[in-house]
Structure 1
Amino acid sequence: MAGTAGSATPIKLGKNPIFRLPGGVVARIARLGQQDAADRELREVLTRRTAAKAAP
């Protein structure tokens, strides 16, 4: 895997952390079988970030 541990920026830490990786990639670390929850959580995070950028 290319890059270093220092190249990931935490977006949300906790039980299922979310990181921003180089190139704008967003990654969520979770247990096997959690795909639906991961999709939902990433959509929520990205929606909040988009709304925050658009706010005056």
Structure 2
Amino acid sequence: MKKSDVTKTGKHHSGFPNSAFMRKCEVGDWVNYLTPEMAEGGKKLIQEKFAQSDCYFEVN
């Protein structure tokens, strides 16, 4: 999707270029984008949402 023409040109309705929403898609790359507080909040949210399901989702 990163090589798609739609991501190379144009803007989102927020005014940001479409290319601003693309990442490297590498495992662990999130540390370059999220603060430790944001990561902890995401971890808690995932645990809450999956708590009543049969899915096991380990977050490190």
Assess same fold via TM > 0.5. Answer: no
> What is the TM-score when the length of structure 1 is the normalising length?
0.36
Bigger fraction of residues in strand: 1
